[in-house]
Chain A
Amino acid sequence: MTAITTLLQKPGALIECDDDPEAVFDMLCAKGWSDGFPVIPPTPERVERMLAYCDRDFDQPVIKIPPRFGAATPVRVAANAVMAGCKPEYFPLVLLALEALAEDQYNLYGTQATTHPCTPMLIFNGPVAREVGLNSGHNVMGNYFRANATIGRAVRLALVNIGAAIPGTGDMATAGTPAKFSFCVAENEESSPWEPLHVEMGYAKDTTTVTVVAAEGPHNINDHESLTPEGILRMTSGTMATTGSNNAYYAGQPVLAFGPEHAATVASKGMTKAQVKQWLFDDAVIPLSRFSEENIARRFRRRNAEQYANVPLDTPVHMWQKPDDLIIIVAGGAGKHSQYVPTFGITRAATKPLKRADGELVKSIAELKRG
């Protein structure tokens, strides 16, 4: 493993700056290495400390991040994790998320450069997520919790600083989304009436995983009245069925994050996740007539001719392609709210388990501590 002192001797690895947080922030912003918020200055000492739980070679890229295809080596990612405010024990989860984004089906190149307002939504499952303090309860998609805020932010900073997802030149998002600062959650497995996401995908419950989704910001589903599974699901499907969603035209796997109370009601008569997905697939539909004439002519009748060329205008349009494409998790605290997260169109979610460099699954973050 290359020592960090050796890596820092490479040309351009170190930049001199006044020893003052404001001066460092000004310098980083001037260079475009920023998300616009203040950062912790990534000094060599702090970067070295950030790597305390990294068992990978410090200079071997875990991913080349488009559109620049910059090499995301652990040492570079660590600098971004310092800037984001991560604790060193968060760092393996930052690397894991980047490894998941490297999977072809996620389409990182497309999602980085698109005009669509998508960003990686990181969904963590398993024991290490709890161990490092990732929040899965109240305000799970909001502010306050350091692990959620800084792991998501570190990934975003790497996408900008290493991948050059710079607005107007590498990130062409028309408007973007506040979720581009950080969008990182843990599933509330303890409050779920169903198997958690990673178990549904074939991993053991004690495996730690990340699932990455090219997500828009979440849309709230408020239902304080429904007492039955069908009632909650009817309100949910109504929130999902919108004409401006990429998922109505393309592929993609939107996320439904049930609040624990809604989840309990939906599962109260024994509905499985698969049954919930089928129910919502069938009910979250819009008649073709609700789209504009131009969209009916171009997107449906011409582009999706096999399905829509000659169908009547009352034909239902589903909000995603196959029932099982919907990702269901349970997240959040008490209250009668759930969240629907639409996605970019040409993308699939990717899941990765947390492993040591030797390929063994990590059961506790302490296993990765060096020295």
Chain B
Amino acid sequence: MSYAGKILKVDLNTKTIKPIELDPRLCKRYLGGEGFGIKILYDVSEKDVHPLSSKNPFILMCGAFAGLPIPASLYGVFAKSPQTNFLGEAFAKGMFAPELKYAGYDGIVIFGRAKHPSYIYIEDEEISLFSASDLWGKDTLTTIRELMKRHKGAQVLCIGPAGENCVSFACIENDFGRHAGRTGLGAVLGSKNIKAIVVRGSKSLKVYDENKFLEELEYIWKEEFSEKTEKYRVYGTPGGVTGINKARALPTRNWHGDHVDFVEQISGERMKEELVVKELACLGCFVACRKISQIDGNKFVEGPEYETIYSFGADCLIPDLKKIAELHLFADLLGIDAISAGAISAFAIDLFEKGIIKKEELGFELRYGDVEAIKKFLRLVAYREGIGDIFARGIKFAAEKFKAREIAIHVKGLEPAGYEARTLESMAISYAVSRRGACHLRAGAYEIDLRGGKLSLEEKVREIVHKENLYVLYDSFGICKFMRRFIDENRLAKLCRIILGWRVYPNQLLEKGAQIVTLARKYNVREGLTMKDDMLPDRFFEEEVNGKKLDKKVFLKALKLYYKLRGWDERGIPR
């Protein structure tokens, strides 16, 4: 029920493609999406594999509920990350995961490397490996448009030039503007010579209890128009910009500042007024948080999102939504993660201003607010030209290379999202322990801080653990996190009963979430992760913003507490 029932195993070395029956025990323990991805990655990948070698498997898994008329259209991609050298995972919603399930598959596991640029075409049982030599080098949008023309009614995910060039933060794009952005898994697909995956399906999904499901739909649909989702419905993610800036939690100037003076110029309200021309939804969702902006004439972009307004707008000091939108589109076309793209640009600007990299190396001056220079810089990175090659290997590598560790803001090699860690203590802890590097979506911990009220350190850490477990469930069932205010573990347990026919208690679900988190940790430890990798950037402890910095002793206490609550030993190793 609701699972499509098969996982596709693709071996590019031998060009063999085999559907494998989904094991019901895997479903019960690892649920779907992220749970499947982490479990399969842990089981099939060899220790110490190079992220860009043909031995690093590329795994794509759909949420267990994807394809139903509820906001649950998620797929996740999993591999060893070229950006962090630990667990790489990224998620996107839209039409791709549902279509893959309609074709009969809950996921795809890709091994090996194709001899020539190729794309995988899936139409129910018919699966082919087509040449993509004519698409190689093309930007993401051109690729999607061309493949949609070639295969009418199909859904496409693809990489851009940055993925082909194995840039460590290359992303994967579907639906003209949805991205599995973080941790550089576009580069893994590129290293396999796979430009795109195209899918068209004609099969059906069912639910266990149809009548109860219809009742549940009425509830979910009602809440999709309630105040609980209003911000996303009206403004999309940029609805958060003004509030976060006011809370002095919007990082600027490569994290030397915590707010901007020009917030009304980059706010969600301004964007809605001036740029947005169309609202779109992912499959099964009435919220329609996807705002399409018109840059000019025939130039559109999905976004900018809160995160690109942070990464390009605040972090690179660009007080103009249209220009931010343009950079967002620029990153999309190259196929680089727009959070990392903005953050690494700000890092490079900081290096330039401090005289660590020079005009002669770049070929141009790189300063805050200079859109054209940032574009030139990102192009160098995406095509690995000159100094761009150093940045293409990731911020961690670049920081070592330029002996500028103290300037680079990242955890495990991943630049954080746009939530200031010195203002938001729970967020800081969550950045540190997140299995994929500094990420805001493993626990959404900024909400703990922004909600206000006095919480003890232990209460904060406990809530982070709880939220992490819950968020794993969202990413495994495929439920959109924007529904978090009305879909919690209780509702998820109910949905499990109705959709899958499982009798499961909310606490049991959270326990499964915890097991998945621990399995991800085991994977990371196997790949060499130590407690040192859970450290935050030194600047968070040394440089004040708004009179605040983190206390290292308190932070270490929180870290130990987190390990303890997870049942790991005091160095963070699962027992």
A and B associate: no
Point out residues on A near B: beta carbons under 8 Å.
Answer: none
Point out residues on B near A: beta carbons under 8 Å.
Answer: none
